[in-house]
Structure 1
C-alpha cells in the first residue's frame, strides 16, 4: 500500500494504491462520512489476486485538494462522476472495475451509465445510486424521513455551524446509526475522522445535501453531465449490487434491478450495515472478483 497523488480534472487527488502496477485495474470509492480506510482489508485481498487497486480520497476528504480557489466546492453527483472519470484518464486506466457505496457508489454508477465503454464491471452498494433530483421533494414514508434527519439538518444554517463545530461527532453518530451491529473501536473511527479535517469538507458536504434536493445551483462545468443524469440512464455494464441487512439509512434496493440491462447479480450482506466494504471485506472482495468473472463470461459469449 502506498499513498500517492495525481492531478486529475479540478483536483490533486490523493489515493492509496495496492497490488502490482501492471495488475488488472480496480477503483473503489468511499462514501460519506468515511474515507479510504473503508478498503483497508478488502483492497489487499484483491491485490493478492493480481489486481491493481486504486482507492482515492473524494473531493473534500483527506489530502485531496482543489487546484483552484475559484472552483465551486460542489458535492453534487455530476461532480463526483466527473472526478472519477478524470482520475481514470489521469492514471491511463483501461476499463477498470469501478465500485463503491454511498457517494463513491454514486460516482461509479454515473461513469458506468454514461461511459460504459470505459468500464469493465460495476460493484455498487445500494444498487442504482443515481439521484432523481426532480422528484427529491416528494415525501417518503415517515421512518425513511426520520432516517434522513442529517440531510435536512444540513439544509439549515444551524446545520452548517454544527458540521463545522462537530464534524467528527456527527460522523461517529452516523456510523453508529447506520451500522448498528458493527463494533468498531475508537482507533478505527479516529483514523478515518482525520479525513474530515480537509478545509473543503464542510462546503462540499453541505452543497451535496442541498443540491440533491434542488435547493442550490450546481457547478456549471458539470451541468451537461447533470442534464444527462436527469433522464435516469440505465446501466449496461456487468453489475453486482449489494445491500446491508442491518443498514440503518437504506431500506433495501433489490427493486432497482430494472435499471440494469446487462449481466446483473443482487446480494445481501445480512449482517452488515451501511459501510459494506469495511464491515464485510471478504464478501466485498469476492463481489469484485465475481464481477470480473461476470465480465469475462459476457465477453466470451458469441455475438
Structure 2
C-alpha cells in the first residue's frame, strides 16, 4: 500500500497508492488540502478486506502527480480527472468514489457529470456549495476561512510553508497529532507544486472557468446529482463548523436516497481522527 504507482489519465501522470484485489470493484479515494493519499491509510485496508480494488491518487499538482500545463484547477477539471482515472483503471458501474475536502468537491462533480460510472459515493468535510451559501458568510465562519482569502494574494506563496500547514492542521483538527512529512513533500516539493495547491483556491473566484475546456464539466459540478451519497462531518471541525452547514437540511442538497451524519469527537480530518467510526459508517453505506 505504501508503494507509489503511476498511471496516465486526462493528460496527466498520477501517482497513487493501492490496496486490495485487482479484480474487485474500484474504490477511488480522493484527498483534500493540505493532505495526501496517506489520509486514507485506515480506510484502504478496510475496503480491501471488503473486496474492493482501492486506489488513492495524489490529486493534480500534488507531487508526484503532474502539474497541469494549462493551470486548470476548477472542480470541472478535478471531476474530469476522477472520471478519467475510472476509465484508465478499468472501473465498472459497480465502482464507488470517496472524497474528503477538495476530494469531496471532486466527487460531487464526477458523479454528477457521469453517474453511470459510480454505484455510490461518500463525501467528508465539505457539503455541496448550495448548502453553504448562508452559513459560510457568518462572522465566525469567515474567520475560520481566512486562508481562502490569503490564498488569492501574491503573499500566498510566501505564507504557505511547513509552519502554516501545521497550524492549519492543528486548528482544523484540535487535539490530533499527525506526521505531516508526506504533506510537506507533496505541496512544498517545488514552487510549481505549491502553486498548484494554491490554484485550487484561486480557481474558486476565476470566472473564466466557465469558458474553459472544462466548462461543461464545471456546469455539472454545480447541479444536483443522482448517485446516492453518504455525507460525514466532524462535530468539532475547525475549518468548516458543523453549525455552518445545516446538517438537518443537508439531504435536500444531496441526491435522492442520500444521508448526512455528524461524527462526534472529530475535527476536519475525521478519517484519521476517528477511523473506527468512519470506516464502519462507510462500509455500512457501501454494502450492496
Match of 1:171 among 165, 170, 174: 165
**1:270 corresponds to:** 264
Q: Is the 8 A contact 1:181 1:271 kept in 2?
A: no
> Which digits, 9 at most, give the CA deviation of each residue in 1:236-277, with x for residues without a partner?
222211000110011223132102232222221111111121
TM-fit CA distance, 1:139: 7.4
Match of 2:104 in 1: 105
Question: What is the CA distance between 1:145 and its match in structure 2?
Answer: 0.8
Tell me, yes or no, if the aligned pair for 2:209 and 2:218 is still in contact at 8 Å. Answer: no
Deviations 1:162-207 (A, max 9, x none): 22xx2x22211110110012133xxx22233211134432222332
1:17 and 2:18 are equivalent in the alignment = yes
Aligned 8 A contact 1:181 1:246 in 2: no
Q: What does residue 51 of structure 1 align with?
A: 52
Instruction: Give yes or no for the alignment of 1:226 onto 2:223.
Output: no
5 Å-filtered alignment, 1:51-200, equals 51-66=52-67, 71-95=69-93, 96-126=95-125, 128-130=127-129, 140-163=137-160, 166=161, 168-184=162-178, 188-199=179-190, 200=192
Matches of 1:47 and 1:228 in 2, distance apart? 30
Which one of 212, 216, 240 corresponds to residue 230 of structure 2?
240
Residues 13 and 139 of structure 1: CA distance in aligned 2, closer, same or farther (over 3 Å): closer
Structure 1, gaps ≥5 residues long: 297-303
Q: Could you state the TM-score of these two structures normalised by the residue count of structure 2? A: 0.89
TM-score in terms of structure 1 length: 0.85
Aligned-pair CA distance for 1:208: 1.9
Tell me how far apart the structure 1 counterparts of residues 280 and 225 of structure 2 sit (CA, whole Å).
21
Change (3 A) 1:292 1:115: same
C-alpha distance in 1 between matches for 2:256 and 2:136: 31
- Aligned pairs, number: 281
Q: Is 23-32 or 201-210 further displaced after alignment?
A: 201-210
* 1:287 Cα offset (Å): 2.7
Asked whether the 8 Å contact 1:241–1:266 carries over to 2, the reply is yes
CA separation of 1:274 and 1:41: change in aligned 2, threshold 3 A: same
Look up the SS of the partner of 2:4 in the other structure.
strand
Question: Aligned with 1:192: secondary structure?
Answer: helix
Alpha-carbon separation, structure 2, partners of 1:37 and 1:144: 28
State the alpha-carbon separation in 1 of the partners of residues 259 and 210 from structure 2.
33
- The structure-2 alpha-carbon separation of the partners of 1:123 and 1:132, relative to structure 1 and needing over 3 Å to count, comes to closer
Please tell me whether the aligned partners of residues 239 and 263 of structure 1 are also in contact (alpha carbons under 8 angstroms). yes
